[in-house]
Amino acid sequence: MKMEMGAMGSQGYTSSMDIDIKAVSRKGDLTTLETRMSNAKIKAPAGGPMAAAIPNMEKRMNSMKPVRMTMDSFGNPKGMSGSVGTMGFQGIRFPNHPIRVGQTWGTSIDFSQLPGMGAASAMKMGGKIPMKFRLLSLGHSGKSAKIEVSSTGTMTMNMNGQKINTVMNSKGTMTLEVATGMTTDSQMTMDSVTAFSGQTMKNHTSLTMKLK
């Protein structure tokens, strides 16, 4: 299954890429998915701070190894190889009980537990960010579901003694196939404020994803 993802940042840059997701195995309640990125493209204002780095950034993104993630039927990750991927199935952990339109459920992201970012890594990360989901509507005779997603919290980072705190606030909607849980369309925004060495940096990012 192929998807197209794009992002636009407040610093004047845009990026896009193709995402190919394939189920490689299933055992009992566990499914292993492989995610591969390709056709990554980045655009930035000419003469801007990112312009010179774009060729190397695109090369690194397009040469990234596929990520494998094993998860249960509720989107809870059970194992991963490669670089860090999304938390849950495409960012969603499904409720373990029936819900109706208008009802909510939640989970949280513990950055200290992410592979390659915890105690064994040179870059120490921390912070637990709660995520809230709300079922907005059902469509196509119950074959699709539109979900509201929101989260607010602080991620901490320590790089060789350099402490960095980032306050993040994200919200948006995702439309899913009920049968597969696959995202067919999403519109998300994220605002962040990063503080380090007595300085602060604000950023606004818009993220779109669409099934090809």
pLDDT by residue (tens digit) across 136-156? Answer: 999 999 899 999 999 999 999
The pLDDT value given to residue 100: 95
Q: Where are the beta strands (DSSP E) in 58-198?
A: 67-71, 77-81, 104-110, 123-126, 128-139, 144-159, 162-177, 183-196
pLDDT of 6 reads 61
Residue 115 is predicted with a pLDDT of 52
Is the model's pLDDT at 90 over the cut of 90? no
Domains observed in the chain: 2-211 (2.30.230)
pLDDT over 70 at 104, yes or no: yes
Mean pLDDT, rounded, for 73-94: 64
- Report percent pLDDT > 70 for the chain: 82
Band (pLDDT 50/70/90 cuts) for residue 89 is low
